[in-house]
Amino acid sequence: MTVDLVIAGRRIRLHSREGVEIRPDERFSAFTAPAEMPFAAHRDILPETVPDTLPQEGQSLTGTGMLSEDQCHPGTGMFPKDQCHTGTGISPEDQCHTGAGMSPEDQCHTSAGMSPEDQCHTGAGMSSRSTGTFSERVTGEDHDLDADMVVDADLVADADLVVEVEPGPGEIPASAEKVFDAQLMEEVPGGVINSGEPFWEIFSGGGVTYARVFLKEPERRALLEMPNGEKRWRIFTGEVTGAPEDVGVTADLYNDRSGLAPDNFISPPVTGPPQVDAGVRVTTDSCNDGSGLAPDNFIASHLPDPSQDDAGTDYQTAGTIAEAPITVNPLPYPLDGLLFYFLFSRTGDIMIHGSGVSCQGRGWLFTGRSGSGKTTLARIFDRAGDRVIHDDRLVLCRSEDGWMMHNTPVYRNDEPRSAPLDHLWIIRHGSANVSEPVTGAEAVAMILANSIQQNWDRVAAARLAAAADDLVSSVRVSRLSFLPDGTIREYLRLRKEEEISIAASAAGALLSAGKNITVTAGGYSMWPAIRPGDKVEIAPFVEGAAAAGRIVALRRDGGFVLHRITRVMTVSGRRVIVTSGDAAARADEPAGAGMIAGIVHSVTRSGRLITPPRRRWPRWMNRITAAVAGWVRG
């Protein structure tokens, strides 16, 4: 059967062979789309090749298409030929299960009338097996290979990703190496702690990335299999049926380098429709595919017990399996998040922890560490009648009209929501509503720190940095500390550029008339000399007052920015002033005295007049602590 999900504008087609019913849990109800729905937003997934030089400023990895001729199997478009040779791309499960009921030795050699090795070398063998596994339309007894290929192409045609859904734990080939380990991170007051409990692991080998997930209730393992650069993946959902004593597997065979016992084979049966009750004993000889490797997928325990079937049943037809259907949840938590992460990572999008709202036509995304107030802000905007896109996890995608934010299924009542993204706020609780623009590398770092990332893969890490760089070039980014009451909404709503300009022009007029003005500081760029909330008295600027060390009010972006003069130079007879925020890592662009509206006369904090301290010595490097929460349970 086929179930189409549309997440963040991308169509994910879940597909199963006959006898396996895909039933996503209720989080996905509103994200399920009719398969025949036209779909225009198709985009290619980026290639998984490591560029010689990583993308630099102004460059990004561009999609060159996924299913290139030389990558794909000519007969089916499914598995790269090369992968068949190494035994990693072709699954012995496929080889074996159509022949259930025969001795293991026979299975591989008879199911398609040729040896597995032959199958790898020819399109015919692959297609023959694919028919039973991947096609629903071909149910008759006369298999037509050409027709199968058409079916296969149709399946992929209008989807961004096709995921074959299988029960069972799946198998990771011994040649694959573990590249990433994620323990269950638990959210506690004030942060996130590592429970040390295995949650998911990533393996890589033979051009395939594997994500193994440790699931609970019932305890089992699921596997996401992602051939690099392909739009056809597989999920083994972890459901294991059949009595454990029927499964002849030894720890030696379970060669996954994890050092873990194959405890998934004794998992309790899952709920669902009638389950078949036998496993198939497989030995290393049974699926000798010539690769020299142990069989990858020796578990065929969801197959019917041959002893209970009528004699003469054709095990090569899918119809046999359909007699004992099994229902699987294709995307149990956290497998859903991992699949989305890998998909959106490959498409060059950004998955980020945050709250997204659409307030009077403006799209705002609030991101920050756990406990910084994302949910609080979503609630404030929700109560005010604004549209909350999501309060936990969003996908940011670049479209022709700019960056968009989309939700993904997280809660039971979620429904697809999207909005253009105008401003990204890095939030924290504070004693006042104050914001300060952040740009360049600092802004990119802050976005990455709050994005979902797995920094084992340099291509993915570079691509995410490139995407964030692109984002900050068109979406404004600011730090925002806020009061957890309704005033923040008003603060942001009224913070229109025009109004700031009016205030600035009024202040500018006063300064021009020789009067001092007092403003309330609203940013961190001069920390610790000037802090948010400080009352700053600004006097009119006179040319001779420009000296290194003085803090001045600069005209910028229709408002004022308080920065310190670091250098006064004469270039070609013209006076040039270099300024910088004390807390900023780099200096402003040098400019003439005309940019200075006034000079800071005094700073008052909590009613006390203070002397701003001298500028700190510049630092080489700033460390930005990331809030990499992964997928926090709850």
Partner 1 sequence: MISLSSTPSHSPSVVYRKINGEYLLIPLTGNIADMDSLYRLTETGAFIWELIDGERDISEITAKIVEEFDVEPEIAEKDALEFFREIQEFLHFREP
Nearer to partner 1 by Cβ, of 201 and 336: the residue is 201
The residue range among 114-122, 273-281, 502-510, 623-631 that interacts with partner 1, by the rule CB under 8 A, is: 623-631
Residues facing 478 on adjacent strands: 425, 437
* Min separation Cβ 192 and partner 1, Å: 10
Nearer to partner 1 by Cβ, of 196 and 292: the residue is 196
Nearer to partner 1 by Cβ, of 407 and 450: the residue is 450
* Min separation Cβ 203 and partner 1, Å: 11
Please tell me whether the peptide bond between 484 and the residue prior to it is cis, using omega within 30 degrees of 0. no
301: helix, coil or strand? coil
Nearer to partner 1 by Cβ, of 379 and 633: the residue is 633
106: Cα within 13 Å, side-chain hemisphere: 9
Query: Cα 451 to chain center, whole Å?
Result: 8
Nearest one of 542, 546, 550 to 526, comparing CA atoms: 550
Residues facing 223 on adjacent strands: 212, 236
- Please state the three-class secondary structure of 86-144 as a single string: HCCCCCHHHHHHCCECECHHHHHHHCCCCCHHHHHHCHHHHHHHHHHHHCCCCCCCCCC
* Min separation Cβ 201 and partner 1, Å: 10
Our finding on whether 574 is near partner 1 (CB under 8 A) is no
Nearer to partner 1 by Cβ, of 574 and 620: the residue is 620
Pick out residues in 36-55 that bind partner 1 (CB under 8 A): 54-55
Q: Which of 539, 585, 591, 610 binds partner 1 (CB under 8 A)?
A: 585
539: helix, coil or strand? strand
Total residues binding partner 1 (CB under 8 A): 44
* Min separation Cβ 61 and partner 1, Å: 12
Residues in contact with partner 1, shown as a per-residue x/- string from 528 to 567 under the rule CB under 8 A:
----------------------------------------
Our finding on whether 56 is near partner 1 (CB under 8 A) is yes
Residues in contact with partner 1, shown as a per-residue x/- string from 394 to 433 under the rule CB under 8 A:
----------------------------------------
* Min separation Cβ 620 and partner 1, Å: 4
Q: How far apart are CA 180 and CA 202, in angstroms?
A: 5
The residue range among 30-38, 109-117, 229-237, 615-623 that interacts with partner 1, by the rule CB under 8 A, is: 615-623
Nearer to partner 1 by Cβ, of 358 and 451: the residue is 451
Our finding on whether 620 is near partner 1 (CB under 8 A) is yes
**Cβ–Cβ under 8 Å, residues 199 and 630:** yes
| Structure-token pair, residue 54 | 């990583």
Neighbours of 158 (CB within 10 A): 16
Our finding on whether 630 is near partner 1 (CB under 8 A) is yes
- Please state the three-class secondary structure of 345-378 as a single string: HHCCCEEEECEEEEECCEEEEEECCCCCCHHHHH
CA torsion 455-458-460-466 (nearest 10°) is 110
Q: How far apart are CA 445 and CA 385, in angstroms?
A: 32
* Min separation Cβ 102 and partner 1, Å: 42
Our finding on whether 102 is near partner 1 (CB under 8 A) is no
Residues in contact with partner 1, shown as a per-residue x/- string from 164 to 203 under the rule CB under 8 A:
--------------xxxxxx-x--------x---------
Nearer to partner 1 by Cβ, of 410 and 585: the residue is 585
The residue count of the chain comes to 634
At 33, the amino acid letter reads: A
Pick out residues in 468-487 that bind partner 1 (CB under 8 A): 469
Nearer to partner 1 by Cβ, of 432 and 629: the residue is 629
Q: How far apart are CA 249 and CA 262, in angstroms?
A: 8
* Min separation Cβ 454 and partner 1, Å: 8
514: helix, coil or strand? coil
| Structure-token pair, residue 60 | 């990004």
Q: Strand runs (DSSP E) across 255-390, as ranges?
A: 326-328, 350-353, 355-359, 362-367, 387-390
* Min separation Cβ 196 and partner 1, Å: 9
The helix (H) or strand (E) run that includes residue 82 is helix 81-86
Nearer to partner 1 by Cβ, of 138 and 472: the residue is 472
Q: Strand runs (DSSP E) across 557-617, as ranges?
A: 559-571, 574-580, 596-605, 608-610
Residues in contact with partner 1, shown as a per-residue x/- string from 438 to 467 under the rule CB under 8 A:
-xxxx-xx--xx---xxxxxx--xx--xx-
Nearest one of 570, 583, 470, 474 to 526, comparing CA atoms: 583
Q: Which residues contact 605 (CB under 8 A, 6 or more apart)?
A: 531, 533, 534, 535
Nearest one of 424, 414, 504, 501 to 468, comparing CA atoms: 424
Nearer to partner 1 by Cβ, of 574 and 623: the residue is 623
Nearer to partner 1 by Cβ, of 371 and 430: the residue is 371
* Min separation Cβ 208 and partner 1, Å: 18
Nearer to partner 1 by Cβ, of 39 and 180: the residue is 180
* Min separation Cβ 181 and partner 1, Å: 5
Nearer to partner 1 by Cβ, of 137 and 567: the residue is 567
Q: How far apart are CA 214 and CA 168, in angstroms?
A: 13
| Structure-token pair, residue 34 | 């009719």
Q: Which of 103, 271, 604, 622 binds partner 1 (CB under 8 A)?
A: 622
* Min separation Cβ 581 and partner 1, Å: 13
The residue range among 12-20, 145-153, 510-518, 617-625 that interacts with partner 1, by the rule CB under 8 A, is: 617-625
Pick out residues in 351-390 that bind partner 1 (CB under 8 A): none
Nearer to partner 1 by Cβ, of 133 and 451: the residue is 451
Nearer to partner 1 by Cβ, of 608 and 623: the residue is 623
Nearest one of 224, 309, 236 to 267, comparing CA atoms: 236
**Cβ–Cβ under 8 Å, residues 314 and 137:** no
The residue range among 152-160, 263-271, 551-559, 621-629 that interacts with partner 1, by the rule CB under 8 A, is: 621-629
404: helix, coil or strand? strand
Residues in touch with partner 1 (CB under 8 A): 54-57, 178-183, 185, 194, 439-442, 444-445, 448-449, 453-458, 461-462, 465-466, 469, 585-586, 618-626, 628, 630
